[in-house]
Amino acid sequence: MNEKTLLGIIVPCYNEEAVLPETFKVLTHVLENLVDEQKIDQRSFILFVDDGSADTTWLLIEQKAEKTARIKGLKLSRNFGHQNALIAGMETISRSTDCIITIDADLQDDANVIPEFIDRFYEGCDVVYGVRRSRDEDTIFKKQSAMAFYRLMGKLGVQLVPNHADFRLLSQRAVLELMKYREENLFLRGIIPMLGYPSAKVYYDRQKRYAGESKYPLKKMLAFAADGITSFSIVPIKVVMSIGFLLVLIGAGIAVYALIVWLLDHTISGWTSLILSIWLVGGMQLIAIGVIGEYIGKIFNETKKRPRYTIETATYKTRQEKDS
Ligand code: UDP
Ligand code: MG
């Protein structure tokens, strides 16, 4: 290969001041080695995307970017969420790089397997998934809930790569293809297998968060899962409909029973059954309306076609600025 690959590593950061100095060190080290071994172009760089942090994250990035050309920064105007921060980074550098790698700022993903990613890329893979070998460092609850989520998504017909988060390599054409998916809530883990390009998995051990706290508390995790499900599948609506039919059938059964009892001239002790059915059926109806509302909400959001992120500033000129 004559032309060396220009690699851009994208790191989303939300209030990560505690880990950033270490992240700079670890990632720069990995990148320098790759450049020294002449595996990648020497203009390769790391792009830190500040997702509207409230701490000194951006200050740290700016200072570092001033000192070294290896490190660049992109600042979003507010918190747009992990997925949108990744998309912002990818969209910004996709045309100026041959491949990109996304990795979390907290060093939970093992940056030392990045050279393996590059090897797979040279072997012709457009997508390389980083897959966790063990989840020893996660809580039992997080492990169990993640397993349940993969199972559920599989049943709903969405192919996710188990134990793969957002640590992956994408070739330029994979990124460009990905950007054609315009939905506002882009669930990267679900969409990327749908691209269908040649892919490989690289296994690594997931570490404890180096410093700082998880930005995915339970509430956000559940929202993320619900979003993943309703973005890809209308099975929940169908389930609700089936339950509705079942209830109507039970209702018909009760009606027949009541008729027979009445014909036999027994009094029906009415109150209990009546009040129970009112509550049960009322509850089911509310659930059904809720599920349908979820989908209508999605449609509502998508029809607005709002931008997925807004860039406030960058430590270098962004593509949009250059074009204009
Ligand atoms: N993150 C982000 N925006 C957010 C939340 C998180 O850019 O709104 C970043 C965060 O800085 C980290 C990555 O996304 O680099 C993953 O977040 P975290 O480590 O908190 O998630 P966990 O590993 O606990 O699932
Ligand atoms: Mg993390």
For 21-47, how does the pLDDT look when each residue is reduced to its tens digit (9 = 90+)?
A: 999 999 999 999 999 999 999 999 999
- What confidence score (pLDDT) does residue 67 get? 93
Q: Could you tell me if the CB of 16 is within 6 A of ligand 1? A: yes
What's the pLDDT tens digit per position in 180-202?
A: 998 887 889 989 998 999 999 99
pLDDT at 15: 96
C-alpha distances (whole Å) from 163 to each of 9, 125, 127, 189, 202 are 21, 19, 16, 11, 11
CA of 275 to the centre of ligand 2 (A): 48
Task: Give the pLDDT of residue 135.
Answer: 67
Question: Band of the pLDDT at 272, cuts 50, 70, 90?
Answer: low
Does residue 319 surpass a pLDDT of 70?
no
For the segment 123-152, what is each residue's pLDDT rounded down to a tens digit?
999 999 999 987 666 778 878 888 888 888
Quick one: pLDDT at residue 246? 84
Contact present, 199 and 128 (Cβ < 8 Å):
yes
Q: What pairing do the DSSP bridges indicate for beta strands 45-50 and 7-13?
A: parallel
Q: Is the CB of 97 under 6 A from ligand 1?
A: no
Out of 9, 10, 11, 14, mutate this one to test ligand 1's pocket (max ligand atoms within 8 Å of CB): namely: 14
- pLDDT bin (cut points 50, 70, 90) of residue 324 is very low
Contact 45, 21 (CB under 8 A): no
Nearest CA to 103 among 10, 6, 215?
10
Is pLDDT above 90 for 297?
A: no
Q: Relative to the CA of 52, which ligand 1 atom is closest?
A: 3
pLDDT of residue 257: 81
- Sorted by where each starts, the structural domains of the chain and their CATH numbers stand as 7-232+306-323 (3.90.550.10)
pLDDT at 230: 81
pLDDT band, residue 1 (cuts 50/70/90): very low
Residue 268: pLDDT band by 50, 70, 90 thresholds? low
| End-to-end Cα distance, the chain | 34
**pLDDT computed for residue 88 by the predictor:** 97
Going by alpha carbons, the residue nearest to atom 14 of ligand 1 is 82
- Is the C-beta atom of 216 inside 6 A of ligand 1? yes
ipTM of the complex: 0.97
Whether residue 108 has its Cβ less than 6 Å from ligand 1: yes
88 Cα–ligand 2 center, Å: 19
pLDDT tens for 233-264 read 777 888 887 888 788 788 778 878 878 887 88
Which-ligand-closest: CA of 221? 1
